[in-house]
Amino acid sequence: MAGVEFYSTKLQDALNWARKFSLFQYPFVTACCGMEFMAVEAPKYDIARFGAEFPRFSPRQADLLIIVGTITERQGPILKRVWEQMCEPKWVMAFGVCASTGGFYQNYSAMPGADQVVPVDVYIPGCPPRPEQVLDGLMLLQDKIQKREGWAQRRQQRERGVTLAAKGKLPVIG
Amino acid sequence: MSAAILERLKAQFGDAIRSTHAEHGDETAVIDPARLVEICTFLRDDAETKMTMLVDLFGVDTLGLDARESGRFEVVYHLRSMSTGRRLRLKALLDEGDNGEPPAIDSVTPLWKGANWFEREAYDMYGVRFRGHPDLRRILLYEEFVGHPLRKDYPKEKRQPLVRRDYT
Protein backbone atom coordinates (compact mmCIF):
# COMPACT_ATOMS: atom_id res chain seq x y z
CA MET A 1 0.00 0.00 0.00
CA ALA A 2 3.02 2.24 -0.21
CA GLY A 3 1.64 3.88 -3.33
CA VAL A 4 -1.58 5.09 -1.68
CA GLU A 5 0.35 6.60 1.16
CA PHE A 6 2.59 8.39 -1.29
CA TYR A 7 -0.34 9.89 -3.17
CA SER A 8 -2.28 11.02 -0.10
CA THR A 9 0.79 12.65 1.40
CA LYS A 10 1.39 14.49 -1.83
CA LEU A 11 -2.25 15.50 -1.94
CA GLN A 12 -1.92 16.84 1.57
CA ASP A 13 1.15 18.81 0.57
CA ALA A 14 -0.69 20.26 -2.40
CA LEU A 15 -3.65 21.20 -0.23
CA ASN A 16 -1.45 22.88 2.34
CA TRP A 17 0.42 24.66 -0.44
CA ALA A 18 -2.90 26.05 -1.60
CA ARG A 19 -3.91 26.95 1.91
CA LYS A 20 -0.78 28.83 2.79
CA PHE A 21 -1.10 31.09 -0.22
CA SER A 22 -4.79 31.84 0.19
CA LEU A 23 -5.19 32.77 3.84
CA PHE A 24 -8.44 34.58 4.48
CA GLN A 25 -7.83 36.71 7.52
CA TYR A 26 -10.07 37.93 10.28
CA PRO A 27 -8.47 41.09 11.72
CA PHE A 28 -9.34 41.37 15.41
CA VAL A 29 -8.04 44.92 15.75
CA THR A 30 -8.31 46.49 19.18
CA ALA A 31 -5.56 49.09 19.50
CA CYS A 32 -2.82 51.22 17.99
CA CYS A 33 -1.15 48.25 16.24
CA GLY A 34 -4.05 48.59 13.83
CA MET A 35 -2.25 51.47 12.14
CA GLU A 36 0.72 49.23 11.45
CA PHE A 37 -1.63 46.51 10.33
CA MET A 38 -3.07 48.92 7.77
CA ALA A 39 0.45 49.62 6.52
CA VAL A 40 0.97 45.89 6.04
CA GLU A 41 -2.27 45.69 4.10
CA ALA A 42 -1.59 48.77 2.00
CA PRO A 43 0.31 48.78 -1.33
CA LYS A 44 3.73 49.69 0.05
CA TYR A 45 4.21 46.47 2.00
CA ASP A 46 1.37 44.68 0.28
CA ILE A 47 0.52 41.50 2.13
CA ALA A 48 -1.33 40.50 -1.05
CA ARG A 49 2.01 39.28 -2.41
CA PHE A 50 1.66 36.43 0.07
CA GLY A 51 -1.96 35.73 -0.74
CA ALA A 52 -3.23 36.90 2.64
CA GLU A 53 -4.73 40.25 1.73
CA PHE A 54 -8.40 39.43 1.92
CA PRO A 55 -10.06 40.38 5.21
CA ARG A 56 -13.33 38.62 5.93
CA PHE A 57 -15.38 40.29 8.61
CA SER A 58 -17.17 37.09 9.43
CA PRO A 59 -15.14 34.51 11.34
CA ARG A 60 -16.92 31.70 9.51
CA GLN A 61 -15.27 32.70 6.26
CA ALA A 62 -11.81 33.24 7.69
CA ASP A 63 -8.97 30.86 8.43
CA LEU A 64 -6.38 33.20 9.93
CA LEU A 65 -7.27 35.13 13.07
CA ILE A 66 -4.93 38.11 13.41
CA ILE A 67 -5.08 39.53 16.92
CA VAL A 68 -3.89 43.11 16.59
CA GLY A 69 -3.51 44.98 19.85
CA THR A 70 -4.21 44.68 23.56
CA ILE A 71 -6.78 42.16 24.68
CA THR A 72 -8.51 43.12 27.90
CA GLU A 73 -10.02 40.64 30.29
CA ARG A 74 -13.41 41.92 29.32
CA GLN A 75 -12.74 41.13 25.66
CA GLY A 76 -11.63 37.58 26.43
CA PRO A 77 -15.02 35.90 25.96
CA ILE A 78 -15.56 37.78 22.69
CA LEU A 79 -12.18 36.72 21.31
CA LYS A 80 -12.85 33.13 22.32
CA ARG A 81 -16.22 33.13 20.62
CA VAL A 82 -14.79 34.56 17.40
CA TRP A 83 -12.13 31.87 17.39
CA GLU A 84 -14.66 29.12 18.08
CA GLN A 85 -16.78 30.29 15.16
CA MET A 86 -13.95 29.89 12.66
CA CYS A 87 -14.00 26.75 10.54
CA GLU A 88 -11.07 24.36 10.72
CA PRO A 89 -8.32 24.33 9.73
CA LYS A 90 -7.60 27.70 11.33
CA TRP A 91 -4.57 29.61 12.46
CA VAL A 92 -3.94 32.44 14.89
CA MET A 93 -1.34 35.19 14.69
CA ALA A 94 -0.54 37.47 17.65
CA PHE A 95 0.40 40.86 16.22
CA GLY A 96 2.55 42.95 18.55
CA VAL A 97 3.71 42.46 22.14
CA CYS A 98 0.32 43.22 23.70
CA ALA A 99 -1.36 40.36 21.87
CA SER A 100 1.68 38.15 22.53
CA THR A 101 2.32 38.77 26.23
CA GLY A 102 0.31 41.76 27.38
CA GLY A 103 3.25 44.04 26.60
CA PHE A 104 3.91 46.80 29.08
CA TYR A 105 0.45 46.54 30.54
CA GLN A 106 0.59 44.80 33.86
CA ASN A 107 -2.64 45.63 35.56
CA TYR A 108 -6.15 44.56 36.45
CA SER A 109 -7.60 45.02 32.99
CA ALA A 110 -5.12 43.74 30.40
CA MET A 111 -4.88 40.06 29.59
CA PRO A 112 -1.28 38.82 29.69
CA GLY A 113 -1.25 37.55 26.12
CA ALA A 114 -4.02 36.36 23.84
CA ASP A 115 -2.78 32.80 24.27
CA GLN A 116 -4.49 32.82 27.64
CA VAL A 117 -7.66 32.21 25.68
CA VAL A 118 -6.88 30.99 22.16
CA PRO A 119 -3.93 28.93 20.84
CA VAL A 120 -1.48 31.17 18.98
CA ASP A 121 0.62 29.82 16.11
CA VAL A 122 2.87 32.81 15.42
CA TYR A 123 3.94 35.56 17.81
CA ILE A 124 5.17 38.81 16.27
CA PRO A 125 6.95 41.03 18.80
CA GLY A 126 7.28 44.79 18.46
CA CYS A 127 5.43 47.82 19.71
CA PRO A 128 4.22 48.01 17.03
CA PRO A 129 6.06 45.49 14.84
CA ARG A 130 7.57 46.73 11.60
CA PRO A 131 5.64 45.60 8.53
CA GLU A 132 8.67 43.54 7.52
CA GLN A 133 8.40 41.67 10.80
CA VAL A 134 4.76 40.92 10.11
CA LEU A 135 5.59 39.61 6.66
CA ASP A 136 8.34 37.50 8.20
CA GLY A 137 5.82 36.17 10.71
CA LEU A 138 3.43 35.38 7.90
CA MET A 139 6.13 33.44 6.08
CA LEU A 140 6.84 31.49 9.28
CA LEU A 141 3.18 30.67 9.48
CA GLN A 142 3.20 29.54 5.87
CA ASP A 143 6.06 27.19 6.67
CA LYS A 144 4.08 25.87 9.60
CA ILE A 145 1.03 25.29 7.46
CA GLN A 146 3.08 23.43 4.87
CA LYS A 147 4.65 21.25 7.54
CA ARG A 148 1.23 20.65 9.16
CA GLU A 149 2.45 22.14 12.41
CA GLY A 150 -0.34 24.60 13.06
CA TRP A 151 -2.19 24.05 16.32
CA ALA A 152 -5.45 23.14 14.62
CA GLN A 153 -3.70 20.82 12.17
CA ARG A 154 -1.92 19.03 14.98
CA ARG A 155 -5.12 18.61 16.91
CA GLN A 156 -6.82 17.20 13.86
CA GLN A 157 -4.07 14.66 13.40
CA ARG A 158 -4.10 13.80 17.08
CA GLU A 159 -7.84 13.41 17.30
CA ARG A 160 -7.93 11.04 14.38
CA GLY A 161 -5.28 8.97 16.04
CA VAL A 162 -2.81 9.47 13.24
CA THR A 163 0.59 11.04 13.66
CA LEU A 164 2.93 11.74 10.85
CA ALA A 165 5.38 9.32 12.37
CA ALA A 166 2.84 6.51 12.34
CA LYS A 167 3.88 4.74 9.18
CA GLY A 168 1.68 2.10 7.68
CA LYS A 169 -1.48 4.10 8.23
CA LEU A 170 -3.03 6.51 5.82
CA PRO A 171 -2.24 10.07 6.87
CA VAL A 172 -5.28 12.23 7.25
CA ILE A 173 -5.80 15.03 4.78
CA GLY A 174 -5.47 18.21 6.75
CA MET B 1 -11.27 88.21 38.38
CA SER B 2 -12.45 84.73 39.21
CA ALA B 3 -10.95 84.82 42.70
CA ALA B 4 -14.13 86.73 43.39
CA ILE B 5 -15.99 83.45 43.01
CA LEU B 6 -14.16 81.99 45.98
CA GLU B 7 -14.91 85.08 48.06
CA ARG B 8 -18.54 84.92 47.03
CA LEU B 9 -18.73 81.23 47.92
CA LYS B 10 -17.21 81.90 51.32
CA ALA B 11 -19.62 84.73 51.98
CA GLN B 12 -22.56 82.62 50.91
CA PHE B 13 -21.76 79.30 52.59
CA GLY B 14 -19.34 80.13 55.39
CA ASP B 15 -18.23 76.95 57.15
CA ALA B 16 -19.25 74.68 54.28
CA ILE B 17 -16.24 76.02 52.40
CA ARG B 18 -13.45 74.39 54.34
CA SER B 19 -10.51 75.87 52.49
CA THR B 20 -9.67 77.53 49.23
CA HIS B 21 -6.58 77.97 47.14
CA ALA B 22 -5.64 79.14 43.68
CA GLU B 23 -2.71 77.29 42.15
CA HIS B 24 -1.57 78.93 38.90
CA GLY B 25 -4.90 80.67 38.70
CA ASP B 26 -6.97 77.52 39.14
CA GLU B 27 -9.46 78.33 41.86
CA THR B 28 -10.22 75.41 44.11
CA ALA B 29 -12.62 75.12 47.00
CA VAL B 30 -12.65 72.19 49.39
CA ILE B 31 -16.22 71.85 50.51
CA ASP B 32 -18.36 70.03 53.04
CA PRO B 33 -19.63 66.90 51.23
CA ALA B 34 -22.97 67.15 52.98
CA ARG B 35 -23.72 70.50 51.31
CA LEU B 36 -22.45 69.61 47.85
CA VAL B 37 -25.78 69.75 46.03
CA GLU B 38 -26.67 73.06 47.66
CA ILE B 39 -23.36 74.62 46.60
CA CYS B 40 -23.53 73.21 43.10
CA THR B 41 -27.08 74.41 42.62
CA PHE B 42 -26.02 77.89 43.67
CA LEU B 43 -23.03 77.89 41.32
CA ARG B 44 -25.13 76.72 38.42
CA ASP B 45 -28.07 79.04 38.88
CA ASP B 46 -26.52 82.22 40.29
CA ALA B 47 -26.56 85.04 37.77
CA GLU B 48 -22.91 85.90 38.38
CA THR B 49 -21.31 82.46 38.41
CA LYS B 50 -23.53 80.56 35.93
CA MET B 51 -21.48 77.37 36.06
CA THR B 52 -23.68 75.66 33.52
CA MET B 53 -21.19 73.04 32.45
CA LEU B 54 -19.71 70.12 34.37
CA VAL B 55 -16.41 69.57 32.59
CA ASP B 56 -15.17 66.64 34.62
CA LEU B 57 -15.84 64.60 37.70
CA PHE B 58 -13.51 61.98 39.08
CA GLY B 59 -12.27 60.25 42.18
CA VAL B 60 -8.88 60.28 43.85
CA ASP B 61 -7.50 57.85 46.40
CA THR B 62 -4.87 59.60 48.52
CA LEU B 63 -3.91 56.55 50.56
CA GLY B 64 -0.23 56.91 51.41
CA LEU B 65 -0.02 60.18 49.55
CA ASP B 66 0.10 62.54 52.53
CA ALA B 67 -0.36 62.37 56.27
CA ARG B 68 -4.05 63.08 56.28
CA GLU B 69 -6.12 61.99 59.23
CA SER B 70 -9.36 61.89 57.31
CA GLY B 71 -10.59 62.37 53.80
CA ARG B 72 -8.85 59.46 52.09
CA PHE B 73 -11.06 59.73 49.02
CA GLU B 74 -11.58 62.89 47.03
CA VAL B 75 -14.31 63.52 44.52
CA VAL B 76 -13.29 66.40 42.29
CA TYR B 77 -15.66 68.51 40.22
CA HIS B 78 -14.50 70.76 37.41
CA LEU B 79 -17.05 73.41 36.56
CA ARG B 80 -17.09 75.94 33.77
CA SER B 81 -19.32 78.85 32.91
CA MET B 82 -20.34 78.83 29.27
CA SER B 83 -21.13 82.55 29.31
CA THR B 84 -18.07 83.94 31.13
CA GLY B 85 -15.56 81.15 30.44
CA ARG B 86 -14.54 80.99 34.10
CA ARG B 87 -13.60 77.74 35.71
CA LEU B 88 -13.83 76.43 39.24
CA ARG B 89 -12.76 73.23 40.94
CA LEU B 90 -14.61 71.74 43.87
CA LYS B 91 -13.21 68.99 46.06
CA ALA B 92 -15.15 66.88 48.50
CA LEU B 93 -13.18 64.73 50.94
CA LEU B 94 -14.75 61.41 51.90
CA ASP B 95 -13.96 58.46 54.12
CA GLU B 96 -15.09 54.95 54.57
CA GLY B 97 -17.50 54.51 57.47
CA ASP B 98 -16.38 53.15 60.82
CA ASN B 99 -17.96 49.78 60.03
CA GLY B 100 -16.46 49.65 56.56
CA GLU B 101 -19.31 51.39 54.78
CA PRO B 102 -18.18 52.68 51.41
CA PRO B 103 -17.57 56.40 50.93
CA ALA B 104 -20.77 58.09 49.83
CA ILE B 105 -21.82 61.48 48.51
CA ASP B 106 -24.91 62.96 46.88
CA SER B 107 -25.20 62.64 43.12
CA VAL B 108 -25.11 65.76 40.97
CA THR B 109 -26.75 64.00 38.03
CA PRO B 110 -30.02 65.87 38.70
CA LEU B 111 -28.07 69.13 38.19
CA TRP B 112 -25.90 68.16 35.21
CA LYS B 113 -26.94 65.16 33.15
CA GLY B 114 -23.35 64.69 32.06
CA ALA B 115 -22.45 63.63 35.59
CA ASN B 116 -24.18 60.29 35.08
CA TRP B 117 -21.32 58.34 33.47
CA PHE B 118 -18.61 60.23 35.37
CA GLU B 119 -20.16 59.10 38.62
CA ARG B 120 -20.48 55.56 37.37
CA GLU B 121 -16.78 55.60 36.54
CA ALA B 122 -15.83 56.95 39.97
CA TYR B 123 -17.98 54.22 41.50
CA ASP B 124 -16.40 51.57 39.30
CA MET B 125 -12.81 52.58 40.01
CA TYR B 126 -12.98 53.82 43.62
CA GLY B 127 -16.21 52.44 45.03
CA VAL B 128 -17.67 55.85 45.86
CA ARG B 129 -21.44 55.54 46.18
CA PHE B 130 -23.44 58.42 44.72
CA ARG B 131 -26.72 58.78 46.55
CA GLY B 132 -29.64 59.47 44.24
CA HIS B 133 -27.85 58.36 41.09
CA PRO B 134 -30.42 56.93 38.64
CA ASP B 135 -28.37 53.90 37.56
CA LEU B 136 -25.22 53.31 39.59
CA ARG B 137 -23.62 50.33 37.84
CA ARG B 138 -20.07 49.58 36.76
CA ILE B 139 -19.33 51.32 33.48
CA LEU B 140 -15.89 50.08 32.36
CA LEU B 141 -15.40 46.78 34.16
CA TYR B 142 -17.61 43.73 34.11
CA GLU B 143 -20.26 42.81 36.66
CA GLU B 144 -18.23 39.85 37.89
CA PHE B 145 -15.34 42.08 38.97
CA VAL B 146 -14.80 42.23 42.72
CA GLY B 147 -13.36 45.37 44.28
CA HIS B 148 -12.32 48.71 42.84
CA PRO B 149 -9.02 48.61 40.96
CA LEU B 150 -7.82 52.22 41.23
CA ARG B 151 -7.85 52.13 45.01
CA LYS B 152 -4.27 52.20 46.19
CA ASP B 153 -4.75 49.06 48.25
CA TYR B 154 -5.94 47.00 45.28
CA PRO B 155 -3.17 44.42 44.61
CA LYS B 156 -1.22 45.35 41.50
CA GLU B 157 -0.79 41.78 40.32
CA LYS B 158 -4.36 40.68 40.92
CA ARG B 159 -6.23 39.37 37.88
CA GLN B 160 -9.90 38.56 37.63
CA PRO B 161 -10.19 36.74 34.33
CA LEU B 162 -13.57 36.08 32.76
CA VAL B 163 -12.25 33.25 30.62
CA ARG B 164 -9.03 31.24 30.36
CA ARG B 165 -7.72 28.61 27.99
CA ASP B 166 -9.47 25.30 27.73
CA TYR B 167 -7.64 24.17 24.59
CA THR B 168 -4.94 21.52 24.77
* Helical packing angle, A131-146 and A33-41, nearest 10°: 70
Q: Cα(A152)–Cα(A147) distance, rounded to whole angstroms?
A: 12
Q: What is the 3-state secondary structure (H, E, C) of A58-81?
A: CHHHCCEEEEECCCEHHHHHHHHH
Please answer yes or no on whether A73 and B157 come within 8 Å at the CB atom.
no
DSSP string of chain B, one letter each residue: -THHHHHHHHHHHGGGEEEEEEETTEEEEEE-GGGHHHHHHHHHH-TTT---EEEEEEEEE-TTTS--SS--EEEEEEEE-TTT--EEEEEEEE---TTSPPPEEE--TTT-TTHHHHHHHHHHHH--EEET-S----SSS-TT--S-TTSTTS-TT----S------
Q: Do B165 and A116 touch (CB under 8 A)?
A: yes
Q: Does the distance separating the beta carbons of A106 and B167 come in below 8 Å? A: no
pLDDT band at A33 (very low <50, low <70, confident <90, very high): very high
Min Cα–Cα distance to chain B from A80, Å:
8
Tell me if B165 and A73 make a contact (CB, 8 A cut-off).
no
Confidence of residue A121 (pLDDT cuts 50, 70, 90): very high
Instruction: Tell me what the mean pLDDT of segment A57-65 comes to.
Output: 92
- For residue B168, the chain A residues in CB contact (below 8 A) are 155
Report percent pLDDT > 70 for chain B: 98
The full DSSP string for A119-146 is --SEEE-SSSPPHHHHHHHHHHHHHHHH
Q: Which of A77, A106, A119 sits opposite B163 (nearest CB)?
A: A77
Q: Note the pTM of the prediction, 2 decimals.
A: 0.84
CB B111 within 8 A of CB B88: no
ipTM: 0.80
Using beta carbons and an 8 Å cutoff, which residues of A are at the interface with B? 73-74, 76-77, 80, 106-109, 111-112, 115-119, 151, 155
- Residues B106-117: what's their mean pLDDT? 94
Contact of B134 with A46, CB cutoff 8 Å: no
Q: What is the DSSP letter of A113?
A: -
Using alpha carbons, list the distances in angstroms from residue A149 to A157, B80, B125: 10, 61, 44
Report the pLDDT value the prediction gives residue B117, as an integer from 0 to 100: 95
Task: Please provide residue B140's backbone torsions phi and psi, each rounded to the nearest 5 degrees.
Answer: -100, -40
By DSSP bridging, strand A122-124 and strand B17-23 are unpaired
In what helix (H) or strand (E) does residue A94 lie, and over which residues does it extend? strand A91-95
Closest Cβ–Cβ partner in A74, A109, A116 for B164: A116
Helix (H, G, I), strand (E, B) or coil at A155: helix
Give per-residue pLDDT as tens, B66-95.
Answer: 777 788 899 999 999 999 888 999 999 999
Do B44 and B20 form a contact (C-beta atoms < 8 A)?
no
Contact B167 A80 (CB under 8 A): no
Q: How many CB atoms lie within 10 A of CB B156?
A: 9
